[in-house]
Structures are given as structure tokens and as C-alpha cells.
Structure 1
């Protein structure tokens, strides 16, 4: 696989991520303007007041294959206070997401020779095995930056002989995702 094809794969997925971010931003803006504005107290009271619950739901989501997009939690964080509080929440979310990927990598490394993992491979990884063989590190970066399932890809990579140090380095792109998406969400509120 040439470096050019890896770059094309990465750029294509980054383009998808940009489209995804724009769609989330526009959807949220419309939701905020036309639904929340009418019933703001009802919407905000249900979930926004229980910070611990939000943190637990987010952590569970990141550990269990990203059940909820992190952008939903970024939107919640925006409403919890000023810019510094928002930034601290983003840092927390990025740290949890990075740690969840690391944990999934270790689980993949531990379980790779078990019957459970072989079942999981057939059930969940079939789509991503060929991509990993073809693109390698570019798939890690793409999963870190885009809506590809971060924990699932991390577990897949962990099940191979991929070096932990290299994975940890490429996984830092996950923090970049939170910075970029967090900035987009913050700017959406400034409109």
C-alpha cells in the first residue's frame, strides 16, 4: 500500500468527518432555535442538571464502542458555564475517550486468542479487518478524527502485533478531534 493511497483514505475520511460536523452543527442550531427555545426549561432540567449522570453516561458510551456521539456531550458542556468550564469539560471528554481507546487496545491484546474474541471478530470486525490490513496507521488516525468507531478500531488494532507505543502516539489525534469539534460547537453558539 502506497503512502499516497493512505493519504487519500485519510483525506476522504476527514472530508466525511467535516460533513458530519457541519450536519451536527446545523442540526443543533435548528434544534436550539426551533425546539429548545420554545421549551428551554423542560429540556434543560431533564438532563443538564445531573452532572455525574452525564459523566457516567459518557464514560460508558466511550468504553462500550461509542454508543452516543461525543458531540452531544460537548453540547451539554457548553450549557454548563462559561468558556473555561466548557474547555475543562472538553479536556475531560478527550481524556476519557483517549483512555477508552487505550483500554480497548489492551483488551484486544489480551483477548485476541480467545473464543470470545473470534466471535467478536466475525460479528463486529469483519468490515474493518481489510481496512486495517490495507491502511494500517491511517485507519487509527481516521478513527481518532472521524465518526468511525474509535473503541472498536482500537480493540482491533490491539488484537494484532501493532506496537503499543505507536498506537498511543497515533491515538493522540483523538484529542485533536475534540479540540476541532469543540471549537465548531462553540462557534455555532456564537451565531
Structure 2
């Protein structure tokens, strides 16, 4: 397959990611306007006074296939403190996400040897097997940068005997996602 089609796949998914972020932004603004601003004391007490619960929910979400979009946690981090707290939180979030992908990759490596998983894995990953065969590393990069399921694709890649060092290098794009999205969220709140 020509490189052109692989880049087209990557760009298409990045645009989907930006659209997803725009939808989240609109939902966030609506919720902030009509729900949070109406009862600030309740929300501040509920979410900002117990950061360990938020961190726990985030770690669980990243380990279990991204149940919640990380952008919600970035917004929470923005309101939690000053710029340095925000940057430290983004670093924590990015590290956890990168680590969760690596753990999923290792789980995929282990499960590839389990006969039952070979059967179940074909069913579970049926949507992503053809994409991985067709796009390879571009699927890793696309899932790192966009709302594609990062942990699930990392696990899939682990089941394919993909070289670990190459996976870890391409997985670094996950950190880039946090830098870009974190910057966008920070800048959008500066004028809001």
C-alpha cells in the first residue's frame, strides 16, 4: 500500500479527533453554563476537594479502555490550581496513559499464547485487525492521537509480535496528544 493512503488514514482520524474535541467542548460549555454555574458550591465541593478520587477514576479509565475522555480530566486540572499544577497534572495524565498502553501491549503479548484468547481475540478485535494489517504503525499513531481506543489497539498490537521498541517509540505520540490538547484547553480557558 502506498504511503499516501496511510497518511490519509492518519489525517482523517486526526480530523475526527478534533471534531470529537469540538463536540466535547460544546457539551462542556453547555454543562458549565446550565448546570455548574447554577450551583458552584456543590460542584466545587464534590469534585475539587477530593483529588485522589479523580486520579483513581482517571487511572481506572485509562487501564480499562478509556471509559472517560482524558479532556474531562484536563479541564478538571485547569481549575485545580495554577499553571504549574496544570502542567504537572498533564504530565501525570500523559504518563499514566502511556503506561496503560504499554501494560495493554504486554497483556496482548501474554494472551497471544492463550488458545482461548486466540478465538475470543478475533471476535473482540475483529474491527481493528484489518486496520492493523492495512496501516500498521499508522494505526498506533492514530490511536495515540485520536479517540480511537488506545488501550484496545495497544493490546491488539501486542498480540501480533510487533517489536516492543518500535511500539514504545510510536506510543510516544500519546504524550504529544496530551501536550496539544492540554495547550488547547489551557488557551481556550484563558479567554472564557
In the superposition, the TM-score normalised over structure 2's length comes to: 0.95
Post-superposition Cα deviations, 1:35-61, rounded to whole Å, max 9, x if no partner, equal 211111112222221111111111111
**Structure 1: unaligned runs, 5 residues or longer:** none
Runs of 4+ in 1 over 4 A off after TM superposition: none
Within-5 A mapping of 1:32-181: 32-181=32-181
Alignment-derived partner of residue 182 in structure 1: 182
| CA–CA distance in structure 2, aligned partners of residues 66 and 4 of structure 1 | 30
In the alignment of these two chains, the number of paired residues is: 191
Post-superposition Cα deviations, 1:139-171, rounded to whole Å, max 9, x if no partner, equal 000000000000000000000121000100000
* Local SS of the residue matching 1:161: coil
Alignment-derived partner of residue 22 in structure 1: 22
1:65 and 1:150 in contact (8 A); partners too? yes
In the superposition, the TM-score normalised over structure 1's length comes to: 0.95
| CA–CA distance in structure 2, aligned partners of residues 83 and 57 of structure 1 | 22
Q: Structure 1 residues 43, 127: closer, same or farther in 2, change over 3 A?
A: same
* Local SS of the residue matching 2:133: helix
* Local SS of the residue matching 2:113: coil
Post-superposition Cα deviations, 1:90-146, rounded to whole Å, max 9, x if no partner, equal 000000000000111011011102144225414421100000000000000000000
Post-superposition Cα deviations, 1:39-89, rounded to whole Å, max 9, x if no partner, equal 111122222211111111111111111111111111111111011101100
| CA–CA distance in structure 2, aligned partners of residues 107 and 14 of structure 1 | 27
1:78 and 1:186 in contact (8 A); partners too? yes
